[in-house]
Amino acid sequence: MKKFALAGNPNSGKTTLFNLLTGSTAHVGNWPGVTVDKREGVYKKLSEPVGIIDLPGIYSLSPYTPEEVISRNYILDEKPDCVINIVDATNLERNLYLTTQLMEIDVPVIVALNMIDEVEKAGDSIDAAKLESKIGLPVVKISALKNQGIEELMRRGFEVSKHPRKGTTVLEGGKLTHLIGDCKIALEGAGVDNALFHAIKLAEMDELEVKMHPKSAGMVEEFKKTFSDDVFGSDFEAIVADSRYKYIAHNYSSVLTKKHKSEKEKLSKSDKIDRVLTHKVWGIPIFLVILFAVFHLTFSEDLLWIGAALPEGWVSLPGTAFEGVFGDGGINSPGVILFNLVDLATSSISDAIGDAMAAGGVADWATGLVVDGIFGGLFAVISFLPQILVLFLFFSILEDTGYMARVAFILDRIFRRFGLSGRAFMPMIMGFGCSVPAMVNTRTLADENERLATIRVIPFFSCGAKLPILTAVAGGIAQITGLGNADLITYGMYVLGIAVAIAAVLIMRNTTMKGEAPPFIMELPSYRTPQFRSLVMLLWDKTKHFIKKAFTIILASTIVIWFISHFSFNWKFLADEQMNESILAGIGQLIRPLFTPIGFGSQLNDWGWVFVVAAITGLIAKENVIATFGTLAACITSGFVADEALEGVDSVAQMISATGIGVPALIAFIAFNMLTIPCFAAVATAKAEMPSKKKFNYTIIFWVVTSYIVSSMVYLIGEWWWTLFIWLAVWAVAITLTVLYNKGKLKNIKLPKISLKKRS
């Protein structure tokens, strides 16, 4: 099978094109550095199937970070049949810089002028035919987002892939060409592939190149000496780069016709928006308000707080099947309405099955297993899918518009001096989706210690799987105690997660994981309108993933939980009300004293072990926490045969009344689950991304200790407010000691300047 590689600058639309060509759903984000590893798929619309490889973004073929090395090596070593060079047409000159390097390799190259829709929208035009004749490579205008020009691109790419191509270069000017020519001949003589490319890189003294071909590097130095002294100066790399840019400006830039005025207007508009959103003082409050709005729209049961002003029973539709679905007192947010609808459906299903089994004379234990064990647990989780999707929708809108990249920029400005760079916030923000890809994304961090610290705190950014815990417990609190709004509690917990993450990184960066934050040079991506199609695709992908997980891991776990909660250690079957004698209860009782300082240990009554047990099942998959509640709640409620499976919020409400747990302990319970060892998949990823077993072991300890400290802090302060002063004192002492310990060394730490490059 032929292989086509997608190469281009970060954020130029490679992954979007990859998804379009192969029908995949890889993560696309409006910020540089989303893709950190190569990814393969197949395009099937040509006469034969063609393999497509999505590579991490690169600005040049002289790489600085590991993921850039992946791209370069792929093109050089794997020798794809064609390189599709994706060029962001709204940013032509800078993108062609890479093109001038790719053309030096002996590989067929085709240039895809992407984002042509935006160019046209701005009223500009690009003469592709003219560019093609100047550059000597086929050029096709496309829009990966709007699916324009794709077939032509692939057809022509397929044509060029049939003929081998020799590298060409735009570098010119007497001595330079001479030197490169000499090197090239020498390398060819030595039988090196891609002689032209390597000759140029050697002449540039490219680090990677010198390492790979030390002998040739020495030879090039000799060559350089044969020219009269100092022609090339010391910074050869800069000379070459300069010469490329000059060439581009002289020869290629004329293909672009700009409608000048509107370009300026557009720039100043996005500048104005940036001035507000990345404001020194208001940037963070604005972020917190936007975040709250998202939670309000997802979790509120009293949208815009207008419930009190509504006429009695106005939205609650009393007496109908939809009673309370759209609101009860206040208007429900879209997230809650969807939640209620799914809840309605799932509980009718499990009721109907329960009734049918009872009527059909099925043994009570079997009915119990199916209704409580399977449906109770499974549906408890599935009913949260709508809210997970709504929250993801909002997060991906924030990401696609380019706002999240601004958040990273604001945070960089504050935390850089403490050794945490804005780059590290990008994978953290990805963690709101799932920790696994987020941990992989940390590969873009150059400082090893910063990378480690970041991996450790990524799970604190509450992922989709933890959402049911937050929502159910917050909902239970709101329902039973009437204290607070579910949206406010959920929001508070997300913010707590972020705060703990930042605090933990800062502590690590100033104690065990010291290092300088490398300068944060990230372009602020342009603001974009999120595309409906890609949002739908993302949500569909999440749904598939979630359903698959529900019917495998979570289903299996709930069945196991049901069994070990209905059998005693001597394998006697137990009725629901005897559950306290079960294996599960035994294990729970045994370890619960450990959780007393967090509020859900020995101080609770006989049923109190359920919290400990639920937290432990969460180590497999975080959804299990609520699935376990679902399974157990149904049994705790009723006498023998469960008459009703209790889902989500109701199951937590049931737990609250059965165990007598209080609000501070419930919040501590959420905090514990958010911060403790994440799910299996995340742990495995963390292990794979860590440099050593020892660092990984410390990471596990770190998770356990952090969750324990923070949640006991939450519990103790919530229960006895004055313990706040004890905690403050403890922290003050700890910080003072650290500062004193570091004192001598602190003076020597240089603070790199924040660099911000903007798209021009």
Mapped onto helix, strand or coil, the DSSP state of residue 536 is helix
699 binding partner (options Mg ion, ligand GDP, none; Cβ < 5 to 8 Å by kind):
none
Q: At what angle do helices 663-675 and 609-617 cross, to 10 degrees?
A: 20
Identity of residue 434:
C
Nearest CA among 438, 497, 498, 430 for reference residue 670:
497
Choose the stretch contacting Mg ion; rule: CB under 5 A; options: 12-20, 281-289, 369-377, 521-529. 12-20
Site for ligand GDP contains 565 (CB under 6 A)? no
In the complex, what is the shortest distance from the CB of residue 565 to Mg ion, in angstroms, rounded to a whole number?
Answer: 46
In the complex, what is the shortest distance from the CB of residue 98 to ligand GDP, in angstroms, rounded to a whole number?
Answer: 12
CA distance linking residue 626 with residue 616, whole number of Å: 11
Interface pattern 37-76 for ligand GDP (x via CB under 6 A) = --------------------x-------------------
Nearest to ligand GDP of 16, 582 (CB atom): 16
Mapped onto helix, strand or coil, the DSSP state of residue 658 is helix
Site for ligand GDP contains 15 (CB under 6 A)? yes
Single out the residue of 4, 5, 10, 153 in contact with ligand GDP (rule: CB under 6 A).
Answer: 10
Nearest to ligand GDP of 15, 628 (CB atom): 15
Which pair of tokens denotes residue 682?
């995340």
Interface pattern 516-535 for ligand GDP (x via CB under 6 A) = ------------x--x----
Nearest to ligand GDP of 14, 184 (CB atom): 14
Site for ligand GDP contains 618 (CB under 6 A)? no
Which pair of tokens denotes residue 451?
């990378």
Single out the residue of 4, 7, 21, 30 in contact with ligand GDP (rule: CB under 6 A).
Answer: 30
206 binding partner (options ligand GDP, Mg ion, none; Cβ < 5 to 8 Å by kind):
none
CA distance linking residue 678 with residue 398, whole number of Å: 25
CB environment 42-68: b (16+ within 10 A), e (fewer): ebeeeeeebbbbbbbbbbbbbbebebb
Inter-residue contact 6 to 17 (CB < 8 Å): yes
Inter-residue contact 296 to 303 (CB < 8 Å): yes
Choose the stretch contacting ligand GDP; rule: CB under 6 A; options: 29-37, 390-398, 403-411, 592-600. 29-37
Single out the residue of 53, 110, 115, 128 in contact with ligand GDP (rule: CB under 6 A).
Answer: 115
Interface pattern 124-143 for ligand GDP (x via CB under 6 A) = -------------------x
Per DSSP, the residues of 442-464 read GGG--SHHHHHHHHHHGGGS--G
What is the DSSP-derived secondary structure letter of residue 172?
-
Site for Mg ion contains 15 (CB under 5 A)? yes
Single out the residue of 109, 145, 612, 683 in contact with ligand GDP (rule: CB under 6 A).
Answer: 145
Site for ligand GDP contains 11 (CB under 6 A)? yes
Single out the residue of 91, 114, 332, 707 in contact with ligand GDP (rule: CB under 6 A).
Answer: 114
| Contacts (CB under 5 A) with Mg ion, residues 29-68 | 34-35
Region of 147 (left: φ > 0; alpha: ψ -120 to 50; beta: rest) is: left
> Residue 170: exposed, middle, or buried by beta-carbon count in 10 A (0-12, 13-18, 19+)?
buried
Choose the stretch contacting ligand GDP; rule: CB under 6 A; options: 12-20, 375-383, 498-506, 537-545. 12-20
Which pair of tokens denotes residue 292?
């709250």
Site for ligand GDP contains 396 (CB under 6 A)? no
Nearest CA among 735, 707, 752 for reference residue 506:
735
Nearest to ligand GDP of 269, 279 (CB atom): 269
Rounded to 5 degrees, φ, ψ at 42 are -130, 135
Which pair of tokens denotes residue 542?
């999440």
Residues that bind Mg ion (rule: CB under 5 A) add up to a total of 4
Q: Which residues bind Mg ion (CB under 5 A)?
A: 14-15, 34-35
Binding site for ligand GDP (CB under 6 A): 8, 10-16, 28-30, 34-35, 57, 114-115, 117-118, 143-145, 400, 528, 531
